[in-house]
């Protein structure tokens, strides 16, 4: 959701800014722009669409200067046009912004009453205009920015650059992340460590309300009360190799293929030395003291929670509620003192999930998060943060983060079962031993790539697709449908198999493919009955099952996808692979932009 970068360099910064924006483009790609100060003069270049358009523009209209800021946009206020693209400039001030200024209408009206004209439809322009307004009243850049920041409501990360100041960038953070990077005679600001990692391995993360006055000499950070603050400088070890496609055509393909390896890492992390029990970091969780689990997340992470509900309830007999984060706090759910509040988020920055976490502060017995970015806001505001060890996920459609979330959540459910005595030590050991086989099972699923591609080719011709699953495969049906619609733009819905006859079956005709996720488990026969109901109405069934399931029920199907036989608990994790690959190959067949589907952004830092 918008990426921002700022560089006070020792050489020309335009190429560095563009390189950094490339690494931030997963956050939004509606437009991109940079501004620099050259010989004291502020200038900018902006282009609509992908970053490549900005790069092309810079070839014809280069931008000199050793100080600059840059932005890649996911539009909130105003269409993606050049005028609405960042950086926004008002007189001597240029600004880039990630987030939403909630009181911008009020501030606009106030500025308009002073005769200040507006040229864009954005909330961000107000920030530049207000700062310029204060500078016109005689304030210097730092005081003008600080006074502006005092007036802003909403969530933002901001970076300011000034005409006449080639050794100054001011950064601010409230609700959206911002990091400061330390170089040799250079300084940086950026939305995340991914942007800064080729430039430096020394980073400070700003805290809520922090303001940073950055020069090439270093940084002065002020906290929300205006006091000078010390923020630890951390050594980051971001594996750059993980931020390239490693020979794959798309990040999504690479991230799907990486799943056996990253899940292996997650397992090693939580099942050390022989792996007979799940070991959590810090003070861990004592599930014997927990009466209820409330899980909150968005999108794919929400489906991971829905799957985990089956595990926590069946294995640990722990009552679970699962909520979509954007609904949770407005529902005002009562949080009883014995509640463990669990938040799942790949980015750790999702605004709705963060707001839900804050709603639970002071109410829940413990706030735990399952995240991929350990330095994220959600991780830092939790009592306990459990990393999923998926590595950087660049493809906008979440894949390896989903299966790593599931893996960590299943381990947590087994820990809960152990703490609550609902499974004995032998049963836990058996389940954990089965989990150790996950990487191999995932490799088995990946081996079916050709079969899945053939089925996906057929799906790519459809207008609508249904996904069905029963029990713990139901959330996976929802996830399969989400993956397909977000990257191939084919309309898809997921249903609990048994729910079909209560309405959606009206949609079935000879044009409707129906993907049935059905391992040969206790519920298989019931799912097959639902599948027969589809076929009786000429629906085209794609059956995803194991050898014995396919042998038993393939007759009359349109296509089959063969999965390895797996322990029943692991099926949602292993069957995620065909769900992802069906979407991936259908999107490739349709020629859509797999890694950067339209209208989406990786990290959703606005409500
Ligand atoms: C779908 C997808 C989104 C995210 C959702 C939550 O492929 O990626 O639905 O799962 O936006 O994001 P995080 O996990 O970062 O909180």
Q: What is the bridge-based pairing of β-strands 218-222 and 202-205?
A: unpaired
For residue 295, what are the contacts with CB-CB under 8 A and spacing of at least 6? 305, 308, 309, 320, 321, 322, 323, 342, 343, 344
Residue to mutate, 298, 373, 379, 403, ligand 1, most ligand atoms under 8 Å from C-beta: 298
Contacts of 59 (CB under 8 A, 6+ apart): none
Cβ of 159 closer than 6 Å to ligand 1, yes or no, is no
Alpha carbon of 418 to ligand 1 centroid (Å): 30
Average pLDDT over residues 309-319: 98
Q: Which atom of ligand 1 is nearest to the CA of 401?
A: 14
Is the predicted pLDDT of residue 73 greater than 70, yes or no? yes
Note whether 402 and 262 are within 8 A (CB).
no
**Could you tell me the distance, in angstroms and rounded to a whole number, from the CA of residue 553 to the centre of ligand 1?**
34
Q: What is the set of active-site residues? A: 2, 602
Question: Among 295, 328, 343, 346, which is best to mutate for testing ligand 1, by the most ligand atoms less than 8 A from CB?
Answer: 346
The upper half-sphere exposure of residue 514, i.e. CA atoms within 13 Å in the direction of its Cβ, equals 31
- Return the residue whose CA atom lies nearest to atom 6 of ligand 1: 298
**For residues 225 and 219, what is the distance between their CA atoms, to the nearest angstrom?**
17
Q: Among 254-258, 393-397, 595-599, which range has the highest average pLDDT?
A: 254-258
* 387 Cβ below 6 A of ligand 1: no
- Rounded CA gap, 458 and 442, in Å? 24
Query: How many other CB atoms are found less than 10 A from the CB of residue 62?
Result: 11
Tell whether ligand 1 has an atom less than 6 A from the beta carbon of residue 204.
Answer: no
Residue position matching structure tokens 């437009």: 31
Inter-axis angle of helices 51-60 and 14-24, nearest 10: 170
Total number of residues shown for the chain: 607
Between CA 243 and CA 342 the distance in angstroms is 29
pLDDT at 77: 80
Q: How far does the centroid of ligand 1 lie from the alpha carbon of residue 344, in Å?
A: 10
Percent of the chain with pLDDT over 90: 87
Q: Is 81 exposed, middle or buried (0-12, 13-18, 19+ CB in 10 A)?
A: middle
Which of 69-78, 382-391, 421-430, 571-580 has the weakest average pLDDT? 69-78
Ligand 1 lined by 298 (C-beta under 6 Å): yes
480 within ligand 1 shell (Cβ under 6 A): no
- pLDDT confidence of residue 241: 43
Tell me: the pLDDT tens digits for 346-391? Answer: 999 999 999 999 999 999 999 999 999 988 889 999 999 999 999 9
Ligand 1 pocket check for 326: Cβ under 6 Å: no
pTM above threshold 0.85: yes
User: Ligand 1 mean position to 389 CA, how many Å?
Assistant: 16
Does 553 sit in the ligand 1 pocket, CB within 6 Å? Answer: no
Tell me the average pLDDT across 496-508: 93
Hey, whose CA ends up nearest to atom 7 of ligand 1? 397
Q: For 249-262, what is each residue's pLDDT tens digit? A: 999 999 999 999 99
Q: Where are the alpha helices (H) located in 421-459, listed in sequence order?
A: 425-436, 438-446, 449-459
The kind and range of the H/E element at 268 are helix 259-270
Is residue 486 lining ligand 1, measured as CB closer than 6 Å? yes
At 506, give phi and psi (nearest 5°): -60, -25
Q: Which atom of ligand 1 is nearest to the CA of 397?
A: 7
Cis peptide before 87 (omega within 30 of 0): yes
CA distance 515 to 73: 35
């Amino acid at each position: 959701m918008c990426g921002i970068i700022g560089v006070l360099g020792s050489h020309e910064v335009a190429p560095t800014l563009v390189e950094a924006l490339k690494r931030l483009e997963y956050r939004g790609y509606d437009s991109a722009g940079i501004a620099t100060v050259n010989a004291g003069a502020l200038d900018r270049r902006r282009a609509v669409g992908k970053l490549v358009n900005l790069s092309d523009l810079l070839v014809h209209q280069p931008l000199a200067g050793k100080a600059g800021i840059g932005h890649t946009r996911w539009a909130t206020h105003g269409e993606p046009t050049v005028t609405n693209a960042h950086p926004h400039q008002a007189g001597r001030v240029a600004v880039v912004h990630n987030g939403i200024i909630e009181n911008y209408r009020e501030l606009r009206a106030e500025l308009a009453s002073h005769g200040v004209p507006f040229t864009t439809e954005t909330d961000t322009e107000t920030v530049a205009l207000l700062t310029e307004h204060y500078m016109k009243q005689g304030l210097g850049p730092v005081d003008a920015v600080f006074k502006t920041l005092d007036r802003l409501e909403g969530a933002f990360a901001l970076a300011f650059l000034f005409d006449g100041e080639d050794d100054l960038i001011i950064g601010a953070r409230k609700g959206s992340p911002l990091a400061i990077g330390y170089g040799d005679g250079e300084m940086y600001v950026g939305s995340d460590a991914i942007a800064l990692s080729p430039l430096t391995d020394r980073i400070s993360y700003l805290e809520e309300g922090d303001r940073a006055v950055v020069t090439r000499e270093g940084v002065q950070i002020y906290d929300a009360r205006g006091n000078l603050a010390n923020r630890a400088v951390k050594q980051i070890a971001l594996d750059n190799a993980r931020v390239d496609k490693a020979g794959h055509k798309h990040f999504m393909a690479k991230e799907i293929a990486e799943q056996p390896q990253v899940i292996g890492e997650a397992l090693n992390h939580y099942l050390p030395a022989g792996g007979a029990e799940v070991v959590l970091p810090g003070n861990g969780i004592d599930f014997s003291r927990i009466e209820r689990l409330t899980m909150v997340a968005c999108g794919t992470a929400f489906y991971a929670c829905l799957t985990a509900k089956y595990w926590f309830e069946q294995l640990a007999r722990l009552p679970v509620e699962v909520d979509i984060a954007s609904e949770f706090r407005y529902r005002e759910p009562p949080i009883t003192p014995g509640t463990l509040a669990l938040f799942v988020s790949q980015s750790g920055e999702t605004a709705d999930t963060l707001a839900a976490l804050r709603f639970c502060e002071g109410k829940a017995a413990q706030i735990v998060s399952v995240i991929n970015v350990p330095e994220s806001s959600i991780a830092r505001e939790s009592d306990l943060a459990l990393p999923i060890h998926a590595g950087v996920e660049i493809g906008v459609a979440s894949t390896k983060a989903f299966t790593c979330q599931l893996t960590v959540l299943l381990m947590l459910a087994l820990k809960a079962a152990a703490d609550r005595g609902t499974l004995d030590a032998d049963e836990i050991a058996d389940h954990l031993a089965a989990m150790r086989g996950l990487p191999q099972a995932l490799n088995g699923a990946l081996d079916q790539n050709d079969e899945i591609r053939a089925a996906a080719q057929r799906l790519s011709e459809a207008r609508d697709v249904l996904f069905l699953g029963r029990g713990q495969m139901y959330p996976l049906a929802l996830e399969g449908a989400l993956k397909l619609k977000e990257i191939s733009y084919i309309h898809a819905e997921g249903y609990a198999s048994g729910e079909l006859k209560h309405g959606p079956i009206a949609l079935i005709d000879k044009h409707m493919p129906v993907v049935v996720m059905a391992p040969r488990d206790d519920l298989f026969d019931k799912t097959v009955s639902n599948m027969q109901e589809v076929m009786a109405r000429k629906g085209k069934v794609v059956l995803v099952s194991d050898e014995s399931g396919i042998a038993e029920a393939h007759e009359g199907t349109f296509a089959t996808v063969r999965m390895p036989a797996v322990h029943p608990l692991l099926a949602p994790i292993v069957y995620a692979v065909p769900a992802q690959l069906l979407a991936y190959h259908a999107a490739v067949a349709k020629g859509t932009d797999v890694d950067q589907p339209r209208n989406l952004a990786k990290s959703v830092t606005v409500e």
